[in-house]
Amino acid sequence: AGGSFAYTRREPLGVCGGIGAWNYPIQGAAWKLGPALCGGNALVFKPAEATVLTALALAEVVVEAGAPPGLFNVVLGAGGTGQLLSTHGDIKKISFTGEAGTGKAISRDAAGTLKKVTMELGGKSPLIIFDDADLPNAVAAAMMANWYSCGEVCSNGTRVFVHKDIREAFLEQLLARTAKLKIGDPMDPATDVGAMINEAHLQTVLSYIEKGVAEGGRMLAGSAERHVPADPALAGGAFVAPVVFDGVGDDATIVREEIF
């Protein structure tokens, strides 16, 4: 209508909540803190229970940088603490990184106060290798896509589809290079594959390997048993050797579910 003027003004939400995952603890905290601050908001961040120290260290850095009290806050606790963030009326947005089941619960909780929600959930990404691929490069990509950071990455390309004409050559190179990976102390620069985050997660991963075998997959590398590194000091650690399955059906658990 004549004389009317409509516009949108971007304003800070106020206080945002962040819930992080354990596989990228310091990065996850920074990825939530940066956008919140750039938008003029404060952040209350809950790190995963298994990795709290990096978030606390980041909070100290923020204070040392001169941020006012209350701009970045770290709260520790289990799932109930995260639920408090999701349901609290004064928190206007929730950013969550983690598995899909928890994401669904947070979405339901946040709906009660009409919070804005951002989710970064699990994945089961495909890696597709055609017959004209550079084979050594394709093998390197498959190894990076599966075993980088012990395989504990939600975007890993854990389903590898290889053209039938290069399948055997691909497997030959993949298995040869996998056998040379050094499993051991993650603080040793020579180590290729370190330990799982904890014993409970190790048992979860081993149970998935057992399901892969039970559901008809052919295990070409690795084992469904705890790996024991050569260093006696690492005996009893949460180590699992890299596993390669072949001939797994599309309905298999290890194909449909995120393992890490």
Look up 99 and say whether it is catalytic. Answer: no
- Of 8, 73, 13, 244, the closest CA to residue 254 belongs to 244
Question: 62: part of which helix (H) or strand (E)?
Answer: helix 53-64
Contact between 167 and 132 under an 8 Å Cβ cutoff? The reply is no
What is the distance between the alpha carbons of residues 135 and 137, in angstroms, rounded to a whole number? 5
Sign of the CA dihedral 152, 154, 159, 160? negative
Residue type, 257: E
CB 56 within 8 A of CB 80: no
Cα–Cα distances in Å, from 99 out to 87, 119, 175, 229, 241? Answer: 19, 10, 30, 30, 23
Catalytic residue among 11, 64, 120, 172, which? 120
Q: At what angle do helices 53-64 and 25-38 cross, to 10 degrees?
A: 40
Catalytic residues: 120
